[in-house]
Structure 1
Amino acid sequence: MSNNEILNYLKNAKIEANVLKKICKYFTEDYTAIQTAQNLNLSRQTINNYYKIIRNLLLSKEDEMLYMIKNTHFSNNTLLIKYIKNGPYINYFIECQKKAFIFKNNENTFPNLQKFIDNTIHLPLQNNKKANAAKISFNKKENKFTLLYLTKSDDTIQGFIQNRLKKFRGLNKDSLYLHLKESQFRYNYSQDFLYETLLSLLHLKKSNVAYISTLKQAPSLVL
């Protein structure tokens, strides 16, 4: 479902704006769908529907932010590529200045980077018990990545995500990715920023000036 389809769905939904704001508030405070449903006297299915909408909107916003950072700051710098293990799934992400940006195999934001990971980094990292990250360099002129060395990085982001996901049971692969992206957003930004972002995405506030201001202060990919 595209963002426009989501917004059209919300326009026709039988839910008042103040109730939707409360759903956003509970979501921001990381309430489960069951908890939010009980507090608002709504069905769990209703809350699950809105939670899924919120997660999809956050996913598109995270991709937009990553794309902006790439175009404004991604130059001849070194990057740290790490991976998160969640059961049988492995997701790679860029880590910079205590922020993490997860990406999937089919994303086009860094197409050459994904190919580089698949061909150069994946197996060495999986076979190295002491390393969980790869330091690489990027030559913007040649659009080329080079592996510098494997290294051990702190597991702050992985610990944060795994602790969050403990409360959810039976996540399939598609749901897992949405939860990973949500966890990424929560790791990178404060609850207040998350709430204001949701209000802006759902057109529940008059201005998104605060959000635009934060985007302008996005960190460069310099380690």
Structure 2
Amino acid sequence: MKNKFLKGAHLSERKFKEILKLFSEDLTATQIANISGVSRVTINSYLKKIRLQIVKYCESLQPETASGAASWQHRANSHHQGHDTAVAVKTDVERIIKPVIFGIFKQDNKVFTEILPDVSRSMIQAIARGRSVLETVGSAERIRRFSGVVDLGQYRLYHLGNHHHEVEAGKTTLDDVDGFWGLTKHRLAKFKGLNRNTAYLHLKECEFRYNYRHEELYAVLLNLLKTFPLNLS
């Protein structure tokens, strides 16, 4: 069946565009399945592919990142390695579970995120209190690039106060960091918990949605998938 957005699809292009429209409206997989009449298993498979394409697009725009991020990006595309570790996005997360921590920075009027696998909860708490622990991180520039760091296990944003000595520029960056975290917090709360492998996919989806919040997301997605079609094989 010919479908210029999804190679090898068993669904018509019209039905796929309906699914994409519902996805752009930020409905859950269950809601999309109920409305479209397509099975939940098929919807989950398509949404995963859409999110992976969004990840690739976001990474293509993102300024050069530290080497630690690359390992997370690789793991994000490897969803069948061993057992997934659940990461709760609520304050009573068990302390034995290593939290997902990511940084937020702004460049060229876009917000970017980076998973920080080698940054601990104690490090960001110390930095937020003004203590210097950069030497334990390995690279001072690694932390200085971020305006905010989020501990997803505690569902908490830490403002680092980095960048922008100009008051107005600093306020704009702070507003974007807060705005992005507000959107992300609201979206991730719907899942009541994420496993460590899919956390990166959802984080980049939030980044994509925030950066295109002033545009019609459905049209943006159509253009993206027309240029870079999904492949079921």
Q: Percent identity?
A: 34
1:67 Cα offset (Å): 4.1
Structure 1 residue 116 and structure 2 residue 140: aligned?
yes
Q: String of CA shifts for 1:68-126, please: whole Å, max 9, x gaps.
A: 9xxxxxxxxxxxxxxxxx562110121257641012359xxxxxxx943557789xx89
TM-score with structure 1 setting the length: 0.58
Cα distance in 2 for partners of 1:171, 1:33 equals: 15
Letter in 2 for 1:187: Y
1:156 Cα offset (Å): 2.4
Equivalent residue in structure 1 for 2:222, among 188, 193, 199: 199
Structure 1 residue 53 and structure 2 residue 39: aligned?
no
Q: Which residue of 1 aligns with 2:205?
A: 182
TM-score with structure 2 setting the length: 0.56
| Count of matched residue pairs | 159
Cα distance in 1 for partners of 2:227, 2:12 equals: 11
1:44 Cα offset (Å): 0.8
Letter in 2 for 1:41: G
Mark the CA change 1:119 to 1:35 in structure 2 (over 3 Å): closer, same or farther. Answer: closer
Equivalent residue in structure 2 for 1:10, among 6, 9, 21: 6
Mark the CA change 1:48 to 1:196 in structure 2 (over 3 Å): closer, same or farther. Answer: same
Q: Which residue of 2 aligns with 1:104?
A: 115
Cα distance in 2 for partners of 1:182, 1:188 equals: 10
Mark the CA change 1:47 to 1:119 in structure 2 (over 3 Å): closer, same or farther. Answer: closer
1:12 Cα offset (Å): 1.4
Structure 1 residues without counterparts, runs of 5 or longer: 1-6, 69-85, 107-113, 138-151, 206-223
Higher relative contact order (CA 8 A, sep 6+): 2
Query: For the aligned residues, what is the CA RMSD?
Result: 4.0
Query: What SS class does the counterpart of residue 31 from structure 1 fall into?
Result: coil
Q: Which residue of 1 aligns with 2:194?
A: 171
Q: Which residue of 1 aligns with 2:85?
A: none
Aligned 8 A contact 1:29 1:191 in 2: no
Aligned 8 A contact 1:93 1:102 in 2: yes
Structure 1 residue 89 and structure 2 residue 112: aligned?
no
